[in-house]
């Protein structure tokens, strides 16, 4: 059984050595442990420090592509290197490396294909009250989209079986955490959550620089992933809202009409007709999107088989 610990990096020269130093070299049930550092176009000495600290492999991206792209590149490289289990952790030593043993256990036991480390976001002292609330609400929304309970959706400390990694396709350019959970739920990949510990922060988060930006990007990721994997459900909900609004306005006009006051409420009829037309068109878009989704599933299956063959 081969474990590859992948670490996406961007200008982490000050922390990468400490992160690698704490990683385990032996684990029960694992024959070989290798460390893969994905350099996301760093402009400092990240690569040199990583190699000096004992990184087994270093994958260098030609230019800075973002966390999601680096994570995806790491998965593909780990699969190419023959990983049976892949653990993803952060380069800033945010997560306690000793918890990797707990993280991979559900995979070794055959109970899960994806395991996410649960930081217990409501009890993390470094998080502000607003951030704790946003993390909790966000996890609930992602859980609804994925069809499962998710205590910590944004945790980057996670483990994947080879099978789960083969079926994971990251499309977002911002973050992989939310999209991969929704994708796992849609693909029927068993997901487990284990409590993990965190180290004191070494620097401010580069992903969440402003709350407004984070909410915008995360919301867009959730909507896009949800629409991609459950298009008919999403478009039916929006369609139903438009049709309901149009129906209410139509009933309102009829009430005035039978009371003899219909002439002054013609605008309600016009708006009701517009809303009903939009509602039916939205539903038709949902049907088309559902057909496209079926084609996407076939493409994903082809991609899965190509990855597995290679």
Confidence band (pLDDT; 50, 70, 90) for 279?
very high
Alpha-carbon span 302 to 6, nearest angstrom: 26
Confidence of residue 206 (pLDDT cuts 50, 70, 90): low
Q: Tell me: pLDDT of 270 over 70.
A: yes
44-48, 53-57, 96-100, 295-299, range with the lowest pLDDT: 295-299
The residue-averaged pLDDT of 12-21 equals 92
pLDDT at 76 over 70: yes
For the ranges 7-16, 45-54, 157-166, 298-307, the lowest mean pLDDT is seen at: 298-307
Indicate whether 27 pLDDT > 90.
yes
The pLDDT, as a whole number, for residue 106 is: 96
Count of C-beta atoms within a 10 Å radius of residue 224: 15
For tokens 């409501």, the residue is: 122
What's the pLDDT tens digit per position in 229-242? 778 888 899 999 99
pLDDT class for 261, splitting at 50, 70, 90? confident
Q: Is the pLDDT of residue 259 over 80?
A: no
Taking a C-beta distance cutoff of 8 angstroms, is the pair 62, 31 a contact?
Answer: no
Q: Could you tell me the CA-to-CA distances from 7 to 50, 77, 112 in Å, in that order?
A: 10, 12, 22
Q: Is the pLDDT of residue 300 over 70?
A: yes
Q: In the 8-state DSSP scheme, what is residue 27?
A: B
Q: Evaluate if residue 151 carries a pLDDT over 80.
A: yes
Contacts of residue 43, defined as CB under 8 A and 6 or more positions apart, other chains included, come to: 11
Say what the pLDDT of residue 57 is: 96
Average of pLDDT values for 5-21? 93
Number of C-beta neighbours around residue 284 at 10 A: 12
How many whole angstroms separate alpha carbon 125 and alpha carbon 57?
34
The contacts of residue 5 (CB under 8 Å, 6+ apart) are 23, 33, 34, 35, 36, 86, 87, 88, 89, 100
168-190 confidence digits (pLDDT tens): 988 877 778 888 888 888 888 99
Q: Half-sphere exposure of 218 toward its Cβ, with a 13 Å CA cutoff? A: 21
CA distance 40 to 146: 29
pLDDT value for 22: 92
pLDDT of residue 228: 76
The answer to whether residues 1 and 84 touch, using CB atoms and an 8 Å cutoff, is yes
Split at pLDDT 50, 70, 90, the class of 123 is low
Q: What is the mean pLDDT of residues 114-129?
A: 76
Neighbours of 223 (CB within 10 A): 12
- At 121 the pLDDT is 67
Q: Could you tell me if 152 and 124 are in contact, meaning their C-beta atoms sit under 8 angstroms apart?
A: no
How distant, in Å, are the alpha carbons of 54, 113, 115, 139, 195 from that of 118?
Answer: 28, 16, 9, 11, 5
In what side-by-side order are the strands of the sheet with 114-118? 57-60, 32-39, 2-9, 85-88, 158-161, 114-118, 191-195
Q: How far apart are CA 22 and CA 14, in angstroms?
A: 15
The whole-number pLDDT of residue 157 equals 95
**The predicted structure's pLDDT at residue 192:** 95
In angstroms, the CA 175 to CA 154 distance is 9
CA 180 to chain centre: 4
Q: Which whole number is the average pLDDT over 7-31?
A: 93
Residue 307 DSSP code: H
Q: What is the pLDDT of residues 93-113, one digit of tens each?
A: 889 999 999 999 999 999 999
């Amino acid at each position: 059984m081969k474990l590859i610990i992948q670490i996406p990096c961007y200008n982490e020269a000050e922390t990468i050595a400490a992160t690698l130093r704490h990683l385990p070299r032996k684990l029960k049930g694992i024959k070989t442990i290798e460390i893969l550092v994905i350099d996301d176009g760093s402009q400092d000495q990240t690569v040199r420090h990583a190699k000096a600290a004992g990184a087994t492999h270093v994958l260098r991206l030609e230019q800075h592509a973002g966390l999601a792209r680096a994570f995806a590149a790491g998965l593909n490289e780990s699969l190419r290197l023959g990983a049976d289990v892949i653990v993803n952790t952060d380069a800033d030593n945010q997560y306690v490396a000793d918890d990797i043993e707990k993280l991979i256990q559900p995979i070794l036991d055959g109970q899960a294909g994806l395991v996410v480390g649960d930081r217990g976001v409501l009890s993390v002292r470094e998080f502000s009250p607003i951030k704790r609330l946003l993390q909790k609400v966000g996890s609930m929304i992602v859980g609804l989209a994925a069809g499962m309970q998710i205590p910590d959706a944004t945790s980057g400390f996670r483990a994947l079986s080879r099978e789960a990694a083969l079926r994971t396709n990251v499309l977002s350019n911002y973050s992989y955490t939310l999209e991969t959970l929704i994708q796992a739920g849609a693909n029927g990949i068993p997901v487990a959550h284990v409590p993990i510990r965190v180290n004191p922060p070494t620097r401010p988060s580069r992903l969440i620089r402003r709350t407004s930006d984070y909410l915008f990007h995360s919301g867009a990721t959730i909507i896009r992933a949800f629409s991609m994997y459950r298009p008919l459900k999403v478009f039916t909900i929006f369609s139903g809202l438009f049709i309901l609004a149009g129906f209410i306005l139509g009933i309102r006009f009829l009430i005035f009409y039978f009371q003899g006051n219909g002439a002054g409420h013609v605008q309600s009829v016009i708006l009701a007709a517009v809303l009903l037309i939009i509602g039916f068109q939205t539903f038709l878009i949902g049907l088309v999107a559902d057909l496209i989704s079926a084609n996407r599933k076939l493409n994903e299956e082809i991609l899965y088989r190509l990855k597995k063959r290679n």
